[in-house]
Chains A and B, each alone.
Chain A
């Protein structure tokens, strides 16, 4: 983490034009962010949020240029977006990223290169999420964009019996025991917080999204709910929270448009008990006693039959619901879609079968 330190007395000066005896920060006085002439770089451009954001920025004339970074090119018709390949798992990724962004006048960097789904290749995931975030912030320390927006998840709070019903942004990032998937995201968040402390001139925003659900997204939860059956821990029925994918993209757009520092919970409207979610989706609940569920889940995970690690069971047992009032007050984001709409959109149910009981539908 040495390169994440102070940008003064920089060793490799790529931009040129600085005299060596001048403090580097003076030489790199950034032009103020022009709200009608924005240049945005997006890591993880092929992720759901990255792709949708590029679509929105392509259509928004306040954004002059978009730099998409990922290992593969986004499948979009691009006009003002230029694509550069970037593999954050490479040891030289920070230098590569800085070289791509240097001199392009990037005012905002969106770091969305995170996995939406736990993988058995946990070493690789660690390199991508934890070390990759380090690379991204190293590059940020070099190019010093005005804003950095990082994508995170409310799962960093962890599901725990001592959680209040609504976790605020100040709640400790407890993560989850033996879940490297969430652990890596917690570490990424800590790096973002450290970078924000070290570089007060950069506005660092972390958006902690509640599990995103909707018609097009694919992530941990959509795969989990794509099965016809779902485990239920006997006697436990926690409240779940989902954010609609359109709300999620809108929140990301708002975070680009507004300067807001710190972490924000991006949530959807309303909560529903887990078993009600299953009933709405028409999934068959499989009740399991807790002492049986964990070893079973571990065995299924180890043999790669089931793609949810055993630590996921905590989210089916205890609360992990976030409070969105800070995002509403400081970011100006309030969800528009109710949780039920997110579920129905996920199912692709449109029109007649909106899940309403007959007497409600009869009333119109």
Chain B
């Protein structure tokens, strides 16, 4: 099993993991026995008897009673030794490849823009490195993101970033990820949790997975936090991305408080994050649900540009963004992990975080004069 923080992760993304044996359990020595040593003991592997050179005269005929029997026994012994020495897994090129040269070429071509190593959640370091300049362009030139309060994110250790969700397409997760990676002094990685309908959306979900997104569920989040990673969650989920423009910056219900349970169980601090500007990237005026049902997605958005301008309408509006990382809420200092089972408490804490983010958004909105210029 690979542990993301330990695995070498070169930007070109190629690690030679063809070699086995990096991680042998400490107690493996008594289990993995050398078959020969085990059957014949150490003396079998001992050195040969050294006969000093010299003239020893004619060979002495055997005085053993039945040399024929002995030699057959010897043969039998030899056969047994050979049987045990036969490797259990003979290395034979079972599949002779036709046109080996062509095959090698094709394989090189097929592996061109992907690495032969992904971390345990499926991020391909090569693809992530390729997409970084595009994210950087969106971050600096297009949305002109202003990240405030980055020092509220710990330099090491686990933390759960809780953010408001908006904007039809999940740019907000990518921008939070990029903000911490490019502006935080520790350059930490943030893994966004992606709700199911985006994660299983053809192409989009796969792409998000390769650049670092993880399907949102308790098991995945727990695993990431237990490995002391930064995780960003959007508790509003699909309701958040799918809200209409007239409901902008009104936080929806924070799920069932799953993120609070998660923070309590994994002893992670919560960092509230307010994202302003993402609501205007795709201002959704209306949504068609009947068509969405046929296509198997939650909604088909109607924005001022989509579907009017066709694929061009999928371009986000270049609104000016502000991402505010708020004061960390140290839940584990106040409550033990058993508090996760107290549903009323969980609901109250979840509501606290929600109102905290709502008021952070209100402050930023109050200072903002223009959607496009900030």
Contacts and interface: CB of A to CB of B under 8 A. Distances in A.
Contact of B93 (A273, A323, A350): A350
Contacts of A52: 88-89
Contacts of B89: 52, 214-216, 245-246
A10 B204 CA distance: 62
Contacts of B84: 58-59
Given A334-B1, A341-B20, A236 B206 contact: yes
A278 B110 contact: yes
B1 A332 contact: no
B39 interface: yes
Contact of A216 (B90, B97, B103, B116): B90
A324 interface: yes
Interface string A166-182: 10100000000000000
Interface residues of A, number: 73
Interface in B74-98: 79-80, 83-84, 88-97
Interface residues of B, number: 70
B18 A270 contact: no
B102 to A, nearest CB: 9
A356 B203 contact: no
A91 interface: no
Given A269-B2, A324-B1, A335-B1, A235 B206 contact: yes
A161 B120 contact: no
Contacts of A236: 202, 205-206
B19 interface: yes
Interface string A324-364: 11001000111111101100100111100111110110000
B88 A360 contact: no
Interface string B182-225: 00000000000000100011111110011000110111100100
Majority-rule SS of A interface residues: loop
A19 interface: no
A102 to B, nearest CB: 30
A161 B114 contact: no
Given A165-B223, A226-B95, A273-B210, A356 B124 contact: no
A276 interface: yes
Closest 4 CB pairs of A and B: A235-B202, A164-B219, A279-B110, A59-B35
Interface of B: 1-2, 12, 14-25, 27-28, 31-33, 35-36, 38-39, 79-80, 83-84, 88-97, 103-104, 106-108, 110-111, 114, 116-118, 120-122, 124, 196, 200-206, 209-210, 214-215, 217-220, 223
